[in-house]
Structure 1
Amino acid sequence: MKRFFYYWVTLFALCTCTAMAAESYPARPVRMIVGFAPGGGNDILARLMAEQLQRRLGQPFIVENRPGASGAIAVTAVKRAEPDGYTLLVGPSSSMTVNPAIYQKLDYDPVADFKPISLVGDIPMILSVKASSQVRTLSDLVAQAKGSEKGLFAGAGATSFQLATGLFANHTGIRTEIVNYKGNSSVVAALLANEIDFALVDTAAILPQIRGGQLRAIAVTGSKRFSSLPDVPTVAELGAPGFAMSFWSSLYAPAGTPDAIVQSLQTTVSAALREPEVSSRLLELGIEPVGSTAKELAQVMAREIPVYKKAAKDANLVQP
């Protein structure tokens, strides 16, 4: 009987301490880990959200860059952190749904090792050609590919973009050879230099050249039109039904983080993204503000991982 009593007393004390910790959260600075170097879209998004979280929750939110291994170094660091809400991951889809499809061995499980908090921003890709190209529509691109003995050359700045280009080619029937570059800036330079025929490049990297008239936007790869380019149709609208792929960035906590802390962060992030000054700043950067529940983010991951696994296998991108 005493053992039973002590069990319930201990459980009650544990629950009380957890509730009190969640209620006073945050009581000290919070780290937000980014798996890429400063200056990229994911880093810019993280710093903007850190400002908003700090302003609303009253403690510093410090962005810490840990680049390397396609984002896996940062993801693994957060996985191993204390599940107390003071170490968060700014996790892009490349780390959370693409890497699991490409790499057979990862040091983390994106589902089991993390608690999703909220989708933050969606970054669709833009199917682009040089402004002087004769290609003005998706039909023109398909016709050009069919009329070429060797097919078309497409640029890709990372494995995730190789995957996206392969999916796009399969949906549209385009025969293409993918040329790999070090990053999106190199892909944009290759388009301008006529080294490649087309590319799928994320909006954050290519919007300046499209707005400046050097490159032409043919289509957007997301499930809906991009707010900053309302006249540019989606790939699905132009005759490839079912095709929709964009990259996103979300906020995660290590598995075991108290639900109350996760809920507090989710509510705060969603409120910040509804502010006109925040959403307009993101749109200027080529990022569509989202905001979601933790459940909605989990559903996105569950939907994408099997699709990307099949696509990676079909494109021979699976690595040991």
Structure 2
Amino acid sequence: MTQPTPSLNRRQVLAAAAGGAAVVGAPALFSGSALAQDKFPSRAITLIAPWPAGGSSDGVMRAIAESGSRALGVPVVVENKPGVGGTLGASAMVGAKPDGYTLTQLPLGIYRLPHMQNMPFHPVKDITHVVCLVGYTFAIACTPDSPFQTIQEMVAYAKANPGKLEYGHTGTGTTPHLAVEEFAEKAGIKLNPIPYKGSAELVPAILGGHIRVMSGTLDVAPHVQNGKLRLLATLGSQRSKAFPNVPTVKESGWDTISESPFGIGGPAGMDPAVVKVLHDGFRKTLEDPALIGALDKFYMPAIYMNTADYTAYAERTFAAEKATVERLGLAKKS
């Protein structure tokens, strides 16, 4: 594939003009048309979705990309890089040029995994937090033939069968994993966790009977509604509007709340003007009926934070996740 010619930024153009420098291959460098081409964005943007194609996260990221393409005036192309608890996007992105043309979704796991294992990036120092857009609603569900009807009955079953009740989650170190581990610790039970690469793998596994319990996002809602799964509890601070009769884990007696905003980021060192263009463009997607429809489809709430607020959130969350990981005894060895 022919690689696109890197565009010169405005500072390079002005510096070259001031020094009378010539740029090889750019005879019209100082023409009005060349300066117009320097406007960002002028070519396709890659947006990494760190999950398999077909799941709820992938579906929402594609809806964001389609809406973002219209708002920014250039194609926003989704590239899937699943694995390592949703952190492969950040790992792949931090080595890219900070020109705004390589971006990634920033799931909560990027603030947690560095405390659990060595990662090739620092989630605050190595990433520009552009904008937060959406959040997940997490839940615990089981197969309809499971020997329990409620979350309390599941706890009783797990106590009677320590270590024998398996549950699937969306990847080691992800929020659906650690939320259940924290809940299990507070409930005094031992479960057998089985990691999958996102919802696209997890949901077929439980529908196929390979596991009896799962912790994941509410994209399982259609399977709950048609009776193929039973929803035991949600993990947010409030009940889901889609399932008002299903209790939260907290109100069921265990003080565990897991809510997970996510947004879009790029490499450190991005031009603030480029960041603003990206922020404003993706901010407009929250007004797009197509994206709103996708969020409703996957039971995800819109959670907006501007660049400054999102950066502050990242700093707070990185510190808070360290405390959580240490409390659960999952911190990496120094």
Contact 1:192 1:215 in 2 (8 A): no
Matched residue, 1:99:
113
Matched residue, 1:215:
229
Residue 266 of structure 2 aligns to a residue whose secondary structure is strand
Q: Does residue 169 of structure 2 align to residue 153 of structure 1?
A: no
Q: Distance in 2 between matches of 1:319 and 1:228?
A: 38
Q: Distance in 2 between matches of 1:179 and 1:92?
A: 20
Contact 2:140 2:231 in 1 (8 A): yes
Cα distance change on mapping 1:192 and 1:69 into 2, 3 Å: closer
Cα distance change on mapping 1:227 and 1:119 into 2, 3 Å: farther
Q: Does residue 64 of structure 2 align to residue 49 of structure 1?
A: yes
Cα distance change on mapping 1:296 and 1:223 into 2, 3 Å: farther
Matched residue, 2:272:
259
Contact 1:130 1:192 in 2 (8 A): no
Displacement, 1:236?
A: 2.3
Displacement, 1:207?
A: 2.0
Matched residue, 1:90:
105
Cα distance change on mapping 1:267 and 1:313 into 2, 3 Å: same
Letter in 2 for 1:109: H
Contact 1:273 1:290 in 2 (8 A): no
Letter in 1 for 2:119: L
Contact 1:270 1:292 in 2 (8 A): no
Displacement, 1:132?
A: 4.3
Runs of at least 5 residues in structure 2 that lack an aligned partner in the other structure: 1-10, 16-34
Deviations 1:198-255 (A, max 9, x none): 3322222x223212112221221123333433443322233334x2213443100211
Runs of at least 5 residues in structure 1 that lack an aligned partner in the other structure: 1-9, 15-19
Displacement, 1:316?
A: 4.2
Cα distance change on mapping 1:66 and 1:141 into 2, 3 Å: closer
Q: Does residue 50 of structure 2 align to residue 35 of structure 1?
A: yes
Displacement, 1:280?
A: 2.2
Displacement, 1:25?
A: 2.0
Displacement, 1:81?
A: 1.6
Cα distance change on mapping 1:295 and 1:240 into 2, 3 Å: farther
Q: Does residue 257 of structure 2 align to residue 244 of structure 1?
A: yes
Contact 1:78 1:253 in 2 (8 A): yes
Deviations 1:26-62 (A, max 9, x none): 1222111233332233322221111111112211111
Q: Does residue 228 of structure 2 align to residue 224 of structure 1?
A: no
Q: Percent identity?
A: 25
Letter in 1 for 2:141: S
Aligned length: 301
Displacement, 1:111?
A: 0.3
Q: Distance in 1 between matches of 2:113 and 2:131?
A: 20
Displacement, 1:188?
A: 5.9
Q: Does residue 296 of structure 2 align to residue 280 of structure 1?
A: no
Contact 1:26 1:59 in 2 (8 A): yes
Higher helix share: 1
Q: Distance in 2 between matches of 1:289 and 1:131?
A: 31
Displacement, 1:110?
A: 0.8
Q: Distance in 1 between matches of 2:36 and 2:68?
A: 18
Residue 137 of structure 2 aligns to a residue whose secondary structure is strand
Moved more, 174-183 or 121-130: 174-183
Q: Does residue 188 of structure 2 align to residue 189 of structure 1?
A: no
Letter in 2 for 1:89: T
Displacement, 1:286?
A: 3.4
Contact 2:206 2:214 in 1 (8 A): no
Q: Distance in 2 between matches of 1:51 and 1:265?
A: 14
Letter in 2 for 1:27: S
Matched residue, 1:180:
194
Letter in 1 for 2:115: A
Cα distance change on mapping 1:69 and 1:25 into 2, 3 Å: same
1:128 alignment partner, one of 141, 144, 165: 141
Displacement, 1:284?
A: 0.8
Cα distance change on mapping 1:186 and 1:97 into 2, 3 Å: same
Matched residue, 2:326:
313
Letter in 1 for 2:293: S
Residue 155 of structure 1 aligns to a residue whose secondary structure is strand
Moved more, 212-221 or 305-314: 305-314
Matched residue, 1:7:
none
Cα distance change on mapping 1:82 and 1:195 into 2, 3 Å: closer
Q: Distance in 1 between matches of 2:157 and 2:80?
A: 42
Structure 1 length normalisation: TM-score? 0.80
Q: Distance in 2 between matches of 1:75 and 1:246?
A: 20
Letter in 2 for 1:199: M
Moved more, 278-287 or 125-134: 125-134
